[in-house]
Amino acid sequence: MNHQFEICLALGVVVPLISFAILVFFGANPPFGKPRAAYLAFAAIATSCVLSSYVLINWYGLSVAERTELTENAFRYHWADFGNISIDVGVKLDSLTVIMYFMVTFIASCIHAFSIGYMSGHSDEVGGKCKYHRFFAYFGLFSFSMLGLVISSSLLFLFIFWELVGLCSYLLIGFYFHEKYASDAGMKAFITNRVGDFGFIVGLALVVLYTGTFDLDAAAASFAEQYHTGTGIFAESISLFGWHVSGMTLATLMGIGLFCGAMGKSAQFPLHVWLPDAMAGPTPVSALIHAATMVAAGVYLVARVFRLLTPDAQMFIAVIGCITLTITALIAIVQTDIKKILAYSTLSQLGYMVFGMGVGAWTAALFHLMTHAFFKAMLFLGSGQVIEGCHHEKNIMKMGGLSRKMPWTGRTFLVGVLAIAGFGIPWLHIGDIKFGLGGFFSKDEILAVAYERAFNMGGDGHGESHESGGTHGENEDHAAPVHGDGHAMANVAEGVQLASADTNASALLAAQSAMASSESGDAHHAEHGRADKMKIAGTLPSLPKWMFWLPIFIAYVTPFYMMRCYWLTFRGTPRDHHVHDHAHEIPWMWVPLVILAVGTLVCSYMLFRPMIADAGGVATHAAGIVAIDGEAHSWEDTSGQVMLTVTHGSGMDNPHNALALIVGFSWLIGMGLAWLIYRNGPALAGRIKDSVPGLALVHHALEQKLYFDHVYNYALVGGTKAFGKLMGAADGVLDFVVDAVAYLFRGIGVFAGRQLDMGVEKRDIGLVDNIANFLAWITYMTGTGLRRPQNGRIRTYVLLTAGAAGIALLFVLFWPHSSDAAEVLSATAQP
């Protein structure tokens, strides 16, 4: 087997590691030193990028069948056995890997190039630590771990790289570790991620426990088998202290556990608090790690383990995504720090992706991941340019009118804003080329799926396809030509193992053939009617309505706050002349921006679209154009019915016309509103806030980030402290009672003794006094005796423990029935 792709990908992973190793040990001194260290790092990642381009081009030069074959025979090396579990080192080679890999290397290359300029202003020496080379060394390590994460075929290695990525994030957030806020932010990110990783480990442990393998494909196959036989993890119900969670199996918990990891890394709702603080790192770090690649790793993870998610787990994911995208977008409206705005918008977009994963829009979510990576990296680099140009001024209230000073930055930023706002015109197209930018397609596709799930579930077409399952053999013959497609998909996201395990396979295949025959679809224009055939509706729980309307609402909010950010920064009149006068565009730093802008445009125009669709396995290349949103997810409910999620035709029918009507012009409305309000600076907004009753309150709440940090601080930190205090107090009370009893009786005794002594002849003292004293002594000794065992001395505790154990042992052994104990023991004593 020719493993040229695997070798290229693995080489691309190793090269940044080598650059890291060189830089971290020798980077500070000649021959590397200040500029050359960066060149080395850039050369390394550029090498990876070239390799990945080679793989990308050649991969898509192959036919689907060839790709399938390559995926199945991808490189695996048997590394070790842990008991019964064998660990393979291998490369997961499929379309998703190839595209994701290319995306990471491409964006990382641009950001490396940008960083050369960005970091050149940084002094070499801060506190005796040379920082310049350290930055690029960490970048190398990050690239290594991120790429390793992407190509890992085994969950174990995925987890290892996952943690390495987290480590890099920590190191880079805390890059200015001499500043307290930066090191605090790094710590916060790290700890928050640990919370998520705890869930990840639980999920991982469940996977290994019940499937006995770390390998993604093998685990999915085993999982499908367990599902069909209703054994293993599906036979385990969740119970907590005897309380059973009805209707949920352990499989759901496993899915949620795995998703917890993604929650940490992709900063989803309860754990989202670290990402805005992570902006303490240098801006290229924010661009690379906290916008484009690392935070997307969570979504990538969900995509990878999609086959292990039950409908309940998916619903959980969708809810979390929905909450995240809503609250963070709202918070973004009121932020004044340019990087914070972008951070919250990132959170919101990540929420969209996770939401998409949750509702089953597998392809759309990944498509959104790709487009978002490009424009968000570009936006961050633009903000970095602004910050650097304005001498580390981050407050957009002090900016304005910068587009004259830094024209390229302004232009590319605008492209980014348009892309994230979902700029595009529904229904307008020239031939197959539609008019719109990245977010327009990707976000709307997620919404389209949500729409299907919210309104159109119910299964017309379900019966038909299920019946077709009856004529199994016939259908299989018929479906044979497209089987390859299905297979490619199976290896990436969904289980053919699962589908082909029973007659439902034919249903799936029917769906695929239907899709395969569908040509030229697009998000908002297509022939009607086809979609009906594609709808292999199932009985997935339909989505609550609010989970459709909230993202729609946020689709209006997003353009608003992005426009606000753009206008206050680049347009209008300068509000702080000091900042404005000194602002300048650093030469050549805009080149990566332009490259990324071009990338945004290109990927908006569907370059990645077919590729991801292919990763989903439901695209065809016969016509050269692909437009079907084929979520590659099939699931089956407990009754064994097909629960293939909606595989709708992306707005080819009426509902999607409606959707286009609902959100198609959200960018225009949102941005227009923002323009109206912020046209002349923030003053009008302030007035509106003051004049509308209640708005100030909301504003304040949003400014305080909806009090998440406060709540965490109060509940977790304070709670722990309070618990400690409570324990201390309880201890004090006990001690007090014991002491008080002792002293009370002693006092009584002494007092009594004295009273009796008074005026009594000496000979009485012996008797009376002694009695009294004896009483007092007894009580005193009782008190101190009670006190003594808890004297905090380790030796006493040792003594008590050992003594108790010994006495227990004697009791067991010398009791009349000790022979029974001996029998039991001798039974266990056999080898």
Partner 1 sequence: MIEDAAFYIFAGVSLFSAIAVVLSKNIVRAAVGLLGTLGGVACLYFLADANLLGVIQLIVYAGGTLILIVFGIMLTSQSPWVGFLPTKVQAIAASIVAVILTIGIVRLVTLVPWAQRNPDELSQSLTVKSIGDALLTTYLVPFEVASVLLLVVMIGAAYLARTEK
Partner 2 sequence: MLATIGLQHYLILSALIFSLGVLCMATKRNAIGILIGVELVLNSANINLVGFSKYQTGKGDGQIFAVFVILLAAAEAALAIAIFMNFYNNVRTIDVDRGDELRG
Name the site residues for partner 1 (rule: CB under 8 A): 80-83, 795, 799, 802-803, 805-807, 809-810, 813-814, 818, 821-822, 825-826, 829-831
Structure tokens at 510: 């029917």
- We find the least distance from the C-beta atom of residue 163 to partner 1, in angstroms, to be 12
755 binds, among partner 2, partner 1, none (CB under 5 to 8 A by kind): none
Name the helix (H) or strand (E) containing 126: strand 125-126
The CA distance from 779 to 762, in Å, is 25
810 binds, among partner 1, partner 2, none (CB under 5 to 8 A by kind): partner 1
The CA distance from 629 to 444, in Å, is 11
For 253, half-sphere exposure in the C-beta direction (CA atoms, 13 angstrom radius) is: 20
- We find the least distance from the C-beta atom of residue 731 to partner 2, in angstroms, to be 5
Q: Is 603 helix (H, G, I), strand (E, B) or coil?
A: helix
Backbone angles phi, psi at 816, to 5 degrees: -50, -30
Q: Identify whether the C-beta of residue 642 lies closer than 8 Å to the C-beta of residue 536.
A: yes
Site string for partner 2, 727-766 (x = CB under 8 A): ----xx-xx-------------------------------
Structure tokens at 587: 């030469």
Based on CB atoms, which residue is closest to partner 2, 463 or 806? 806
Based on CB atoms, which residue is closest to partner 1, 480 or 809? 809
Burial of 105 (0-12, 13-18, 19+ CB in 10 A): buried
Based on CB atoms, which residue is closest to partner 1, 661 or 822? 822
Based on CB atoms, which residue is closest to partner 1, 86 or 542? 86
Q: Give the total of residues touching partner 2 (CB under 8 A).
A: 15
Based on CB atoms, which residue is closest to partner 2, 433 or 809? 809
- We find the least distance from the C-beta atom of residue 807 to partner 2, in angstroms, to be 13
Residue selected from 61, 127, 694, 831 as contacting partner 2 according to rule CB under 8 A: 831
Site for partner 2 in 772-811 (CB under 8 A): 787, 790-795, 798-799, 802
- We find the least distance from the C-beta atom of residue 831 to partner 1, in angstroms, to be 6
Structure tokens at 191: 């700890």
- We find the least distance from the C-beta atom of residue 178 to partner 1, in angstroms, to be 15
Q: Where are the alpha helices (DSSP H) in 88-131?
A: 95-119
Site string for partner 2, 685-724 (x = CB under 8 A): ----------------------------------------
Name the one residue in this structure whose structure tokens are 């754990």: 271
Q: Is the dihedral of CA 428, 432, 433, 438 positive or negative?
A: positive
The CA distance from 537 to 645, in Å, is 6
81 binds, among partner 2, partner 1, none (CB under 5 to 8 A by kind): partner 1
Q: Where are the beta strands (DSSP E) in 329-388?
A: none
Based on CB atoms, which residue is closest to partner 1, 123 or 830? 830
Q: How far is CA 665 from the centre of its chain?
A: 29
Q: Is 77 helix (H, G, I), strand (E, B) or coil?
A: strand
Based on CB atoms, which residue is closest to partner 1, 159 or 561? 159
What lies within 8 Å, CB to CB, of 174 at 6+ separation is 182, 183, 185, 186, 187, 280, 281
Of the candidates 493, 532, 529, 497, which has an alpha carbon nearest to the alpha carbon of residue 511?
532
- We find the least distance from the C-beta atom of residue 797 to partner 2, in angstroms, to be 9
Task: Output the CA torsion 235→240→244→248 (10° steps).
Answer: -50
- We find the least distance from the C-beta atom of residue 43 to partner 1, in angstroms, to be 32
Q: Identify whether the C-beta of residue 618 lies closer than 8 Å to the C-beta of residue 515.
A: yes
Based on CB atoms, which residue is closest to partner 2, 795 or 817? 795
- We find the least distance from the C-beta atom of residue 736 to partner 2, in angstroms, to be 10
30 binds, among partner 1, partner 2, none (CB under 5 to 8 A by kind): none
What lies within 8 Å, CB to CB, of 774 at 6+ separation is none
809 binds, among partner 2, partner 1, none (CB under 5 to 8 A by kind): partner 1
Q: Is the dihedral of CA 608, 610, 611, 614 positive or negative?
A: positive
- We find the least distance from the C-beta atom of residue 196 to partner 1, in angstroms, to be 21
Q: Identify whether the C-beta of residue 634 lies closer than 8 Å to the C-beta of residue 494.
A: yes
- We find the least distance from the C-beta atom of residue 27 to partner 2, in angstroms, to be 32
Based on CB atoms, which residue is closest to partner 2, 1 or 829? 829
Based on CB atoms, which residue is closest to partner 1, 121 or 806? 806
Based on CB atoms, which residue is closest to partner 2, 407 or 732? 732
- We find the least distance from the C-beta atom of residue 214 to partner 1, in angstroms, to be 13
Q: List residues binding partner 2 (CB under 8 A).
A: 731-732, 734-735, 787, 790-795, 798-799, 802, 831
